[in-house]
Amino acid sequence: MSDEIVEVEPAEFPKKGQSGNGTTHGYTVEARYTGHDHVVINDVVYTDKWKQVNPDRAAIGVPAHRPFESWLDQCNLMNYPAAQAIRWWFHAIAEMDFHNICLETRLIKHEVRYSFSETDVSEHCLITGEDRSSCMPDWGKK
């Protein structure tokens, strides 16, 4: 038995990466029709009960949020300017069919709390020297 001390490198993986958390706000648009019966606007029936307005925002060209607000997308929410744009678009659609008189809309503000963490789990396909022919994709092997 030897008294020689062997230094061992600490395990490189897994290694803690970035993490964060925060709070943001998103909005939805709701509408109701306070007339005597009901009304159909953009192929949706509206009555005196509040109902969320869900148009295809991409089809009418309204961006839902800025790139760093991706949390809103995951919750199907919009930022304030986009929600206002949808609200007024909805009133314009209703006006075309003379349904705007008894139409009410409102914005609903939602609080979104998020957190994330990232971990480095392994190294893949180290490339060194001139010969790189042995480096084949190893997706999912480590």
Structural contact between residues 57 and 86, judged by C-beta atoms closer than 8 angstroms: yes
Cα–Cα nearest to 99, from 40, 57, 28, 17: 40
Q: CB of 30 within 8 A of CB of 106?
A: yes
Mean pLDDT over the full length of the chain = 82
pLDDT tens per residue, range 94-122: 998 877 789 999 999 999 998 888 888 87
Look at the block and give the residue holding tokens 């909805």.
90
Q: What is the pLDDT of residue 63?
A: 73
pLDDT value, residue 89: 92
Closest CA to 114 of 24, 51, 9, 6: 24
The DSSP line for 73-119 is HHTT-B-HHHHHHHHHHHHHHHHHTT--TTEEEEEEEEEEEEEEEEE
Where in the chain are the domains? 16-119
